[in-house]
Amino acid sequence: MSVIDTDHSHTQDNATNARSGITLKKYRNQIAWRRSKVKELLTRNYAQYEIANLLHISQPTISRDIKYIQKEIKKTTENYGEHLFETYRNTLLGVDEAIKKLWTIVDSPKTEAKEKVKAITLMREYYRERLDLLRSEPGLLHQKRSMDFAKHDLI
């Protein structure tokens, strides 16, 4: 078999699994479903052999799924501090943007007095939320630094 034949068969296998007759996308969805079930059963304290029997899958496959799940959890944990801080900053930017829009409503000569009062009331709530976010920033920065430090220790 030539290199060209090998590449062609590999491409064909990516589109459809010849043995099972299912597409790669469907195959990946099945794996995702299985791993989800394995994770669910693990949280219910099922043993590997019990999960294997329940899902009619070999125990080594369940073991590989568990290793994959643990690896994903570790990745999520390692990036948690960055994700948390990014969410914090985006929330703060969103609050600032909402306050700007409310000021344009208040400053517009076309806005009725009743609508201006609603906008000012809403703005007051946003300013409180912004203040709460700013008060929590030192704690978030400390948490992010701790997580970054722990991540570098693991590497």
Rg from Cα positions in the chain: 26
Give 22's contacts (C-beta < 8 A, 6+ positions apart): 16, 30
Q: What is the pLDDT of residues 44-88, one digit of tens each?
A: 999 999 999 999 999 999 999 999 998 888 777 667 777 777 888
DSSP state of 22: E
Return the structure tokens found at 20: 């099972």
Per-residue pLDDT band at 95 (split at 50, 70, 90): very high
User: Does 132 score more than 60 pLDDT?
Assistant: yes
Q: What is the pLDDT of residues 30-53, one digit of tens each?
A: 999 999 999 999 889 999 999 999
Q: How far from 143 is each of 113, 140, 147, CA to CA, in Å?
A: 45, 5, 6
Q: Look at residue 151 in the predicted model and tell me its pLDDT.
A: 60
Tell me how far apart the alpha carbons of residues 50 and 20 are, in angstroms, rounded to a whole number.
26
Q: Look at residue 74 in the predicted model and tell me its pLDDT.
A: 79
Q: Among 1-5, 60-64, 106-110, name the one with the lowest average pLDDT.
A: 1-5
- Domain residue spans in the chain? 1-57, 79-155
More confident residue, 5 or 73: 73
